[in-house]
Structure 1
Amino acid sequence: MYVCLLACKDGYRAGCRMIVSLDGCFLKGYYSGYLLAAIGIDANNGIYPLAYAAVESENQASWLWFLELLAIDLEIVSSYQITFMSDKQKGLLEEICMLFPNAETRHCVRHLHSNFKNAGFQTKELKDLLWKAIGASTTREFNDAMDELRKTKQHAYDWLKKKNPTHWSRSHFSIRSHSDMLVNNLSESFNKMILEARGKPILTMIEIVRTKIMLLIVKKKEEADKWKGILCPKIKKKLDVNIKDSLRCVPSHAGGDKYQVECGLRSQHVMDLVQNSCSCKNWDLTGIPCIHALAAIHVKNEFPETYVQTWYTKQT
């Protein structure tokens, strides 16, 4: 049984970014089975359920059926524009590659870290180096982190080197989805939200999930009506932090709308206010101006909010 509510489809088209989190959880009722779910991310970086389905088991056939219906409902014509986040569930990656050959696929780095520890690399030093490579926003930072890991533990480096960084490092992510999401928290939050429903008979479970989604959307609407300003609260908070940190940056006009920005002796970046791009890649990845861009925006005496991507506004 597959369900995709019209309100969820309309909300996705209106204001969600093109990144979808996929996951499956087992059902605890008499007939067992699995519940597959596709979760989006709203303008305030909150969970936005898109579709869910009760299936007999989590396998390639189930995922293929689910993703085919999801593609129709979300009107995914060109897979070039979409990103899928998952925990590398059985049968899922193969079906994504078949149905969406140009889509970006990311793997939850919490799952990667767990496998890293299970491989015998459990020290805090190795954990910190792994997360340094994960969080790097440029290929230079990524390579530096990997070199440091190699010098510290060759076997850990060899293990990680076999993993394609396009799936787990910010430095290799596509900027098409405008999200630097690293973990599958969206799906985990949804699974927690519907926990009580997973032990019910199928029809009862489906109805409970529908009701919870309805209440979630209403709650989001009521909260949004109380917000002040044009930006959603979580986005405004991130922007404010960046504005504060940008005070240590020194911009130099490089002609047109381009600036060279220095933050310390060894940190220099080039950014373009027209392309909404910076060589640090943070602005490109998130759609929120980085500290280098904000330093230049301050020099131009312009409002930072106008440079934040429109899907972060409460109107969406």
Structure 2
Amino acid sequence: MTIPEAPPVFDKIYICLDACKRGFKEGCRSLLHLDGCFLKTYYMGWLLAAVPQDTNNQFYVVAYGVVRAETKDAWKWFLTNLQADIGDDANHGWNFISDQQKGLLPALKEVMPKARHRNCVMHMWKNFVNRFKDLYIREVVWECARCTTVAEFKDCMERLKAVNQGLGNTSPSLSQRHGSRLISRMGLRCYLMRRMVNHKRVLENHPGKLAPVQQKRMERLLTLGTKWTAEWVGDNERKMFEVSRKGSKVDVDLIKYTCSCNRWQLIGMPCTHALAAIVKRRDKTEDYVHPWLCMESIRRTYSHCIKPVPSAEFWPRTEYSQPEPPIIKRPIGRPKVHNR
């Protein structure tokens, strides 16, 4: 029953801080992880969040909200607000990754019909662990997720089918890496502010062109690239190579930044085959890395800051505040003494 004079009841809230929104659009990749978690508080509810990764592979919260329950309507409301902040999917080409969140997929199709969606491999792997105790099956699941070509993915799926026929009902669209899960805690504005400040302090004096995590990945790939042999095919630009190792051959084009293994195109960093060709030319490996993985992108991501919010006692008075008490003027002189 509705009570007209009753105080307002909380329904839901959506928060997208300007610094987080601008940092995401200026320096992060167009991949967001959508997730929801139950709030173990007195009033309960669900925390919904949109979380991409920055250049250093750290989670970076763009928007979050609290709703009564995780439903299609709640996700539709959240995604509608998110689209108003970051722009529509048709112009920006957003990509989303999530677990099997209740009502998320139909809501995403209604709000952003052109956005691409993939399922989180980590959640899929946990389901495999709970259902299948075979360690071989668990490992093959991750091999499927790491495949970069359709042929490789089909080959891995055939290996799964050979073990259990029911495991073959999976499409290549599920071959994606896990995104970061947002912790369920309140005070998120202060938490995000401290986190952004900490990243700035750690990264502001980092030397080199690549972010720290990407630099370590480059060094690891360079070591693996020494096992491959690159041969120039004879083009005028001297940037097309055939790279081989133990009977395996791939084509590398340093002009188009492509390799027939498809890994370079997917991760934005030269694969082991491409690095073998780059080292053959004695070029700088950093020059062939996508700008998303460079320090310039991470500087743009953290070039904005979350503004401080004063406590309620310092807020300006509004028309709803209590009026100041009147000033009573007392006569000048000795006070009168009244006899009791």
TM range (shorter): 0.7 to 0.9
2:246 aligns to what?
Answer: 264
Correspondence 1:166-181 to 2 at 5 A = 166=173, 168-169=174-175
What is the alpha-carbon distance in structure 2 between the residues aligned to residue 253 and residue 100 of structure 1? 45
8 Å contact kept, 2:89–2:112: no
What is the alpha-carbon distance in structure 2 between the residues aligned to residue 55 and residue 163 of structure 1? 32
What is the alpha-carbon distance in structure 2 between the residues aligned to residue 220 and residue 165 of structure 1? 35
2:147 aligns to what?
Answer: 136
Q: How far is 1:77 from its partner?
A: 4.3
What is the alpha-carbon distance in structure 2 between the residues aligned to residue 110 and residue 313 of structure 1? 26
Corresponding letter in the other structure for 1:302:
D
* Alignment gaps of 5+ in structure 1: 171-181, 198-204
What is the alpha-carbon distance in structure 2 between the residues aligned to residue 100 and residue 79 of structure 1? 11
**1:259-303 deviation digits (Å, cap 9, x = unpaired):** 1111222x2111211221111111111001101111111111110
Runs of at least 4 residues off by over 3 Å = none
* Alignment gaps of 5+ in structure 2: 1-12, 298-340
Correspondence 1:66-77 to 2 at 5 A = 66-77=78-89
2:56 aligns to what?
Answer: 44
Alignment of 1:243 with 2:243, yes or no, is no
Change (3 A) 1:115 1:159: farther
Match among 270, 295, 298 for residue 289 of structure 1 = 270
What is the alpha-carbon distance in structure 2 between the residues aligned to residue 302 and residue 32 of structure 1? 57
3-state DSSP class of the match of 1:105?
strand
1:159 aligns to what?
Answer: 166
**TM-score, normalising length: structure 1:** 0.85
**TM-score, normalising length: structure 2:** 0.79
Q: How far is 1:27 from its partner?
A: 1.4
Q: CA RMSD in A?
A: 1.6
What is the alpha-carbon distance in structure 1 between the residues aligned to residue 17 and residue 105 of structure 2? 25
**1:215-240 deviation digits (Å, cap 9, x = unpaired):** 11111111111211111000000011
Corresponding letter in the other structure for 2:193:
M
2:336 aligns to what?
Answer: none
Corresponding letter in the other structure for 1:82:
W
Corresponding letter in the other structure for 1:164:
S
Change (3 A) 1:259 1:147: same
Which has the larger share of helix? 1
Corresponding letter in the other structure for 1:276:
Y
What is the alpha-carbon distance in structure 2 between the residues aligned to residue 237 and residue 140 of structure 1? 29
- Between the two proteins, what is the percent identity of the paired residues? 34
What is the alpha-carbon distance in structure 1 between the residues aligned to residue 92 and residue 192 of structure 2? 29
Structure of greater Rg: 2
